[in-house]
Every structure is written in C-alpha cells, then in structure tokens.
Amino acid sequence: MRASQYYLATLKEAPQEAELPSHKLMLRAGLIRKLGSGLYSWMPLGLRVLRKVETIVREEMNRAGALEFVAPPIQPAELWKETGRWDLYGPLMLRIRDRAEREFCYAPTAEEVVCDIVRREIKSYRQLPVNFYQVQTKFRDEIRPRFGVMRAREFTMKDAYSFDADYAGLQKSYRAMYEAYVRIFTRLGLEFRAVAADTGEIGGTGSHEFQVIAGSGEDAIAFAPDSDYAANVELAEALAPKAPRGGATQAMRKVATPGQHTCEDVCAFLGLPLEKTVKSIVVMHEEEGKPAEMVMLLVRGDHMLNEVKTSKVPGLKPFRFATDAEIRERLRATPGSLGPVGHDVKIVADRTVAAMSDFVVGANEDGHHLTGVNFGRDLPEPVVADIRNVVAGDPSPDGRGKLDIARGIEVGHVFQLRTAYTSKMGVTYIDDKGETKPMEMGCYGIGVTRVVAAAIEQNHDDKGIIWPDPMSPFTVAIVPLGFHKSDAVRDAAEKAYAAFSAAGLEPFLDDRNERPGVLLADQELIGIPHRIVIGERGLKEGVVEYQHRRDTQATRVALDQAVAHVRSRLDPAHSPRAA
C-alpha cells in the first residue's frame, strides 16, 4: 500500500475525553472515529488490524472443530422470554419494535438463538457434538460506555456455542475451546492469563476468563507466581488464618475518637495498626414473601468486602446494602459510628475477623470507638464465612506459595452452561437407548474489538502504538526521505516496495510529500513494528536504515538485504506453526 493512495487520519491531539492510552492512540492513529456514545466507526487502517485478529480467531476456531455460521443481530423477544432473560437482562438490552409493534432486541449475546437452531436441527446423539460460532456485532447498552472500543455499546464478539450429549462431552468441548483460546492469544502476541471465574446466576460449574495483563485493566486477578493458580478476585478464596484466635487480654473500653471516621484515621489517632480494627457493614437479606432481615458483616479494617462471595453465604442470598434510614431506625446509630456490640442482629464475620481478639470497632455513638473487643465475651460468636477480597501476600488457595494481584482486561470468557438453557428451551436429543435428554451446552466469547484496544494498552510508548507482528496493519513501513525530490531515493523506495510485496511482507510506502519529521512521527504513532528509512546519503553507500519500533537505534542494512533483515526480525513465537 502507498500512503498517496491510502487515507491516513492521524491527529496531533486526542480529544479530551479519552483517558486510556489505547483510546487516545486509536483516535490519534486514525484507527477509529466516534459516532456517538459507545459507537465507533472503524477506519481503513483500524479495520485492517481488526480483520487480522478475526482471521487468527477464525483459524483457531476452525482448527478446534467449531463451525462458522451467522445469526441476525436483531432477534425476536419470544425466544428471550423462553429463558426469562427478556426480563433479567434489564436496561443493558436494547429493545426495538417493528411496524406491527412486535418486540425485538439487538442481541447482547446469542444463546437463545443458537438453542433455537439446534433444537430444530439436531435430534440424535449421532449428530453430537456440535459447536457453532459466529463473528458478529453485539449491542449492550452499558451504563458507562468508556475507554473507546474497550467498553463500547456496539462491539464485535466471536461467540461460540457447543452442544454435547453428556457432561463428559461438554468437558471435552470446553477443554478444546480453552486450548484454542490459549493459541489465539499466544499467536496474537499478547501477555495473558486464563483465570478461574465466577459463574454468577447461570448456575454452570466451570468458567474461565482470559485476561490480558495491563495496569489499566478493570478486573483484579489473584495469581500465585509459584504455581498456575489464577482466579478473578471475585472468586479467589481467602483461607482462614492458620493460627487459632488468641485469648482476650484487654477489657472492653469506650474511647473518644473525635472527628475520626475511617479505620485509617482511628488507627492513626489511637496508635494502633489497621489490622486491629474491624469494619461493620449492614446489609438486608430479602427473600420473596418474607420480611427483610438485617445482617451485620464484619471485615478487617484493611480488607475489602467481596460482594460476590457474600451473596453466596447461606442466608444472605440475595442481599442489598441497608439504607441510612434502616440503620438509624433498627440500630439507633449513625452509619458512620456502627459497631457490632450491643445489637441483636445476626453477625457474619470474615474468616480473618473470626480469628481476631482485642480488636477495635465503632461504638454506635458518634466520636467514639470500642477497644479490646472480644467474641464470646462482648458479642456473640459470629457466623464465619469467606466474604473478603484476597490481597497480595495471602496464601494461595492451592497451598503453593503466596498470592499476588495483577490487573487485567477481560478479552475472552469460556463457560460451562450445562443444561441451564437447553432444559428451558427444550434442546433435547434421543440417546442410543431411545431416551430424550437435554443437551449439555457451553458458550465461549471473545471481544474481538476489545482485543485491539487491549493489545495497545500492552504495547505502546509515548510516541505511539507498537503492534505485535501478527496484528500490525502492515508488516513494514518504508519511509523515503525526499521521495519527491530525489530520483535515487524514489527508485530505491520503489525497489524496496516491490521486493517486500514479492516476499509477501505487506509494505506500507509513505510516499507523501511531507517533511521527514512528519513522516517519521506518523509512522511511530501508527506503530508498524518494522521500518526502513531510505535517504540519499545512505544510498551513496548502498545502505538503508532498519529500525524496529522497540529498537533505540537504527541498523544500517544493504538495500538488497532489507527483506532478509526484516524477516530475521519477525517475531517467530507467533507463527501458526509455533503455537
């Protein structure tokens, strides 16, 4: 491709609203343009990158035996009512009416539609297993679309759905998808981890998220550097402390702590470590047909409540946080002064708290705290549960070393749905004994558009993007200095262009009539990893300058060796054969 026949849409500045480097760089490099909140057009350069990701995804899905199909993104409400998700999805689902006032949605995902196809098409165990996938636009009316295509409203997802006769079959299909995902993200050149994930409401048993490691990621991942344990923080278990609870050594005392509200402030004021304090959080457990029950949750001052784990504690599911009014009325205390002593509400203590003695809590009275508090003496023994987020340094749940915390961007998700959908939608088959059974289903998503943003989060510097080879819109940038002034430069550039094209290495010849500074800055912004600069001075000695986008210096290379040199610098790790 030649710049003179292309459209480069680079910008000096990114719009104010762009916060993340990937969002800024995608706009500045002219990969995308905003159409509306969470809606983006892919410009020619960006689309080339997106297509490369899609190609690798398709190759690996096909290799794993999945079959590509495509379903309409606009889907009738009736299907979604069969599984109850028409109501469950809430405002995240974009709803549409046609001229006859029939209801539709713009698909946020496609389990229902695929179930509908399979229940009509597949009848016998002989036709199983099957796995259908598509690369299709999805719409989710996210509350806070942000970070460009990272969390958009309209985005491209590769979604696959497997159907098996039994659970053993599902596990095999799941494993095949898991391995295909490992190959996909490896071939894309990304640093990633597969982490065990929460299965939420669906009621499946197995689920993994594929997380691209990046400081700006929205998800926290707990992993053990000494083993292959990795889990979303929502799921990672915080083990009970090994040491048993110490005996009480202090009397309970009420102390004045004027103006000190947070645990940090109170500790600084009392000269105690944060690990001696306990936070009290009041929630309401609400079951249909029963009055709401108030429950007080206790976590250590420096720990964070984990809502996903909390919602799994028997007697707490489902729960919501108590309102200030409920707290004032039932506990006769201001929400800022709360503590567990002296109430008759049920108390659920985190495992760490349950092993504490002589601790500090709120005194249910503004400006006061209780010190030297002990279970069994000052308040009843609590219900004990794992309700906090793990922190760095906690023991790994697999017993091997300590946990570390990293941030990640969820680019893929694999999920064993079991028969949650198939039984509701009558997706059955006849087994070899003539019996009718629901199929075992799995679903597998990759946020294809998000992958592009995630790759930039991981691969950029202050000048611009640095594409991993497999995702780069072009393989090599040829930058002639004086293309329009010097015959020698133009001839050499054309020769190099022809040689790279013949070698199948996708050259981008920047033949624009611009100052060298502009050409070089644009190329750094766009981030094609390999660059050949051709100037008159070098040509006198028969050389051009090669520089990888990550190199700090250029290397002089003979003009006729340029192709061989770039080949030698291509990253071998990401070729399909190596994966």
CB of 91 to Mg ion, least distance (A): 18
CB of 177 to ligand ATP, least distance (A): 13
- Cβ atoms of residues 236 and 405 within 8 Å: no
Task: Considering only residues 398 through 427, tell me which ones interact with ligand ATP, judged by CB under 6 A.
Answer: 410-413
* Residue 218 DSSP symbol: S
- Cβ atoms of residues 109 and 94 within 8 Å: no
Q: Report the residue number whose CB is nearest to ligand ATP.
A: 447
Among 59, 82, 103, 142, the residue binding ligand ATP under the rule CB under 6 A is: 142
Q: Which residues contact 490 (CB under 8 A, 6 or more apart)?
A: 480, 483, 484
Among 23, 24, 151, 351, the residue binding ligand ATP under the rule CB under 6 A is: 151
Task: Considering only residues 427 through 456, tell me which ones interact with ligand ATP, judged by CB under 6 A.
Answer: 445, 447, 449-450
- C-alpha distances in Å from residue 348, one per residue of 147, 313, 362, 499: 38, 9, 16, 71
- Enumerate binding residues for Mg ion (CB under 5 A): 413
- C-alpha distances in Å from residue 539, one per residue of 2, 248, 294, 519: 21, 84, 81, 19
By CB under 6 A, is residue 190 in contact with ligand ATP? no
What are the b/e assignments for 308-319, b being 16+ CB within 10 Å?
A: ebbbebeebeeb
Q: Which two tokens stand for residue 362?
A: 């709120």
By CB under 6 A, is residue 480 in contact with ligand ATP? no
155 binds, among ligand ATP, Mg ion, none (CB under 5 to 8 A by kind): ligand ATP
- Cβ atoms of residues 412 and 160 within 8 Å: no
Q: Which residues contact 168 (CB under 8 A, 6 or more apart)?
A: none
- Cβ atoms of residues 181 and 412 within 8 Å: yes
Among 86, 132, 155, 223, the residue binding ligand ATP under the rule CB under 6 A is: 155
CB of 200 to ligand ATP, least distance (A): 9
412 binds, among Mg ion, ligand ATP, none (CB under 5 to 8 A by kind): ligand ATP
Q: Which is nearer to Mg ion, 6 or 89 (CB)?
A: 89
By CB under 6 A, is residue 140 in contact with ligand ATP? yes
Among 152, 238, 403, 557, the residue binding ligand ATP under the rule CB under 6 A is: 152
Q: Is 76 left (phi over 0), alpha (psi -120 to 50) or beta?
A: beta
Stretch that binds ligand ATP, among 147-155, 354-362, 433-441, 525-533 (CB under 6 A): 147-155
Give the binding-site size for ligand ATP (rule: CB under 6 A). 15
Q: Which two tokens stand for residue 390?
A: 């793990």
140 binds, among Mg ion, ligand ATP, none (CB under 5 to 8 A by kind): ligand ATP
| Binding-site ranges for ligand ATP (CB under 6 A) | 109, 140, 142, 151-152, 155, 157, 410-413, 445, 447, 449-450
